[in-house]
Chain A
Amino acid sequence: MRRLRSIGAFWYDFVVGDDWRVAVVVVAALALTAVLVHAAGVNAWWLLPVCVFAALAWSLRRATRT
């Protein structure tokens, strides 16, 4: 159990890293893009870059203010 937990912690740290919010924003932005493209017919190519830049700014702001 302990080993399983440490393996899980390693992979979480490996993929998600220091700020889980960044991962959440990226996944949410991709989901929203897919909805806009497939359900609303909007070619939302701009959405993911905007969300990525916003997520990075937010994460940096949090890291430098603590």
Chain B
Amino acid sequence: MTALPLILTVFVACAVEAIEALTIVLAAGLTREWRSTFQGMAVALVVLAAIVAALGPTITLLPLTALRLVVGALLAIFGLQWLRKAILRATGYKSLHDEASAYLREVAAAKAAAASSRGRVHDWYAFTLSFKGVLLEGLEVVFIVITFGANQRNVGAAVIGAAAAVVVVAVTGVLVRAPLAKVPENAMKFVVGIMLTSFGIFWGAEGAGVSWPGQDAALLVVVPVVALVSLGYTVLLRRPRAVQPTSAPTSEEVTSS
């Protein structure tokens, strides 16, 4: 695989997470204060970079077969999570992730919280809100950067994809000064889910000892097949909903974001 598909996959996955992190950062910055918000964001980015710097070179030392087996399994499991969520959202069984309402919730909580300073941080609430938001959303990106980068022995290319996504989302956020609610987040998650699952299947099976027909070219079949099956499930699940539009929400719909 060349570096381009690697960079593009990491870019899209990272952009989705960066949009969610941006919502939290904007809520903290606009309602509390920017200095503490940027401090929280900067510390989270340093922690994330340290994780990549520590795990990236270490994981590439593993034998390729073992690495592909473990990483393939993790990617398949992780990708299926994303696909499952995206399909449930696309078919109406789970509510769509709404950045505008998420932003309003964070703003309300930020306005209600009391101000307190610690050390060089003037507003501890803004700092922790920004730190947690960036760190938690960033961990998924780190996972994808390390697994994809290590498998391709090209962590640098994966980091470029992730960094480009963060810059694009951050610049857009600064220009718009509002959560990026119009970005088709569910569609992006669907695409990333397909890519993660496909690479998980490909690398996992290779790690288990399989020899794919057509070698690396098999990926060109695996990705469209995963996409078609996922779209097929989406179409199949949509039909009964059209007949029963008033069916009760699932427990997941109620409890998860």
Contact = CB atoms under 8 A, between A and B. Distances in A.
Interface of A: 14-19, 22-23, 26-27, 30-31, 33-34, 37-38, 43-45, 47-49, 52-53, 55-57, 59-60, 63-64, 66
B55 interface: no
Interface of B is mostly: helix
Contacts, number: 105
Nearest to A34: B208
B84 A45 contact: no
Given A26-B73, A48-B201, A57-B233, 15 more contacts: A15-B74, A15-B77, A18-B84, A18-B252, A19-B81, A26-B200, A34-B69, A37-B209, A38-B209, A44-B210, A45-B211, A49-B225, A56-B229, A63-B250, A66-B252
Contacts of B251: 66
Nearest to A43: B211
Interface residues of B, number: 44
B73 A30 contact: yes
Which 8 pairs show the lowest CB-CB distances between chains A and B?
Answer: A37-B209, A17-B81, A33-B208, A34-B208, A45-B210, A48-B205, A23-B77, A26-B76
Interface string B56-85: 000000000000010011101110110111
Given A22-B77, A22-B84, A37 B201 contact: no
A3 to B, nearest CB: 15
Interface of B: 69, 72-74, 76-78, 80-81, 83-85, 87-88, 91, 93-94, 139-140, 143, 197, 200-201, 204-205, 207-213, 218, 222, 225-226, 229-230, 233, 237, 250-252, 256
5 contacts: A19-B84, A30-B205, A64-B88, A64-B91, A66-B251
